[in-house]
Amino acid sequence: MAQERQAAIVGIHEYPLRVAPGVSAMNVKVDSIRAALEDAGLQWSDIDAIYDAQDGEAGGGLQLAAYLGLRPTVLDTTQVGGSSYEFHAAHAMRDIAAGKCNVAVLSYGSTSASNRVAIGTGGRGMAGPANWAQNMELPYGSTLIANYAMVKQRHQFEYGTTDEQFAGISVATRHHAMRNPEAVKAMTDLQFVGVNEITTQDVLDSRVVADPLHLLECCMISDGGGALIIASADVARGCKKPPVWLIGAGEATKYRENHGDITTSAGAQSGPIAFAEAGVTPDEIDIAMIYDSFTITVAVCLEDLGFCPKGDVGAYVEGGRLAFDSGEGPALNTDGGGLSSNHPGMRGIFLLLESARQLRGESTSQVPGAQLAVAHGNGGLLGGTHTGGTVILAKD
């Protein structure tokens, strides 16, 4: 199948600070958009589409358009959790191909660390009466991290996956983080105990936060954000940097069902759609940017995207194959990921940013000759209602 090359990432920027007191979420978004436009060699007036996940002060894109003084012909406010930005990229591909816009902006800004937002360990309760979506959870005090711990425990029971095997995911992402100065500063500013490479034993020795998830299997809570510009082929050819083409995308939803399998994610549906549209297979992928809220998220998504059969991820990640310099591939979360670089609450945009850096040859853990990347976001609760957004990217 021929790869369609109608839309490309032409400008990127990641906000450099993970702890930014006194800076608003809107400051992060707007500064990032400005820098991404400069990276592309485009102007504010070139933007005719806004994709916004209703984060911070952006008002679902409506207020952002007013703040920026733009009059977009496309305004997409899809909010499906951390995978929102993969959904946005998929929608921008479609809208550009349909001729509805030429230059789209995706942006995110958050100050979760500065505002002491208890992501993961806080309760899932809501004010008001019980409702259909939560009446089976609220009475029992379930937290977000408890949900992910339940999935890991089920995976271990079902397939025999070990803590040592899961730890390989943390070791690989920290290996990449230590080569990324912004990730090193993040860990330093957030007062990590030991800003250094880690071993499997380090992961196992870290305290258990929600059995069987250890501290070093859990993402950080940071400030941060970023922006990227997606443009039509005609615009992309005139930009400052080589375009990174969006060649396939898939979207899916999964939720609790009687007798359902909580170790299978929405990626099992969105992944095949994206790979089929791109005309490539998982074996061809050089870079796997996969949402790493916890190690279990990465593990089930690697399986569901087709990198290995269901239940085999433990053996698949052993031996350091996920490291950028392993020679085996694919390289996992080469910016350091949510485990060791940043996680302001919704990390999907960073998956696209690092994919673009890799395919431009600009990563701090650069894979030589990288041609193809997958960015896969997971939004919501892995063991409950959640979304999967998969985007395949190709070097120019």
DSSP one-letter code for 120? T
CA-wise closest residue to 4 among 374, 359, 250, 279: 279
Instruction: Tell me what pLDDT residue 127 has.
Output: 53
pLDDT, position 61:
79
Write down the pLDDT at residue 258: 84
pLDDT of 351 > 60? The answer is yes
Mean pLDDT estimate for the chain: 93
> Taking the domain 7-115+221-395, which CATH number applies?
3.40.47.10
Task: Delimit the domains of the chain by residue range.
Answer: 7-115+221-395
At 210, the pLDDT band (50, 70, 90 cuts) reads: very high
Residues 380 and 145: beta-carbon distance below 8 Å: no
Cis? peptide before 330, omega within 30° of 0: yes
3-state secondary structure of 115: coil
66-87 residue pLDDT tens: 999 999 999 999 999 999 999 9
Structural tokens at position 213? 């998830």
pLDDT for res 129: 66
| C-alpha to C-alpha distance for 226 and 119, rounded to whole angstroms | 20
Q: Both tokens of residue 156? A: 């271990």
pLDDT value of residue 25? 92
Measuring CA to CA, how many Å separate 150 from each of 31, 142, 203, 252, 261?
39, 10, 19, 22, 12
Which stretch of DSSP H or E encloses residue 145? helix 144-159
Quick: pLDDT tens for 90-118.
Answer: 999 999 999 999 999 999 999 999 988 87
Contact indicator for 338, 74 with CB cutoff of 8 Å? no
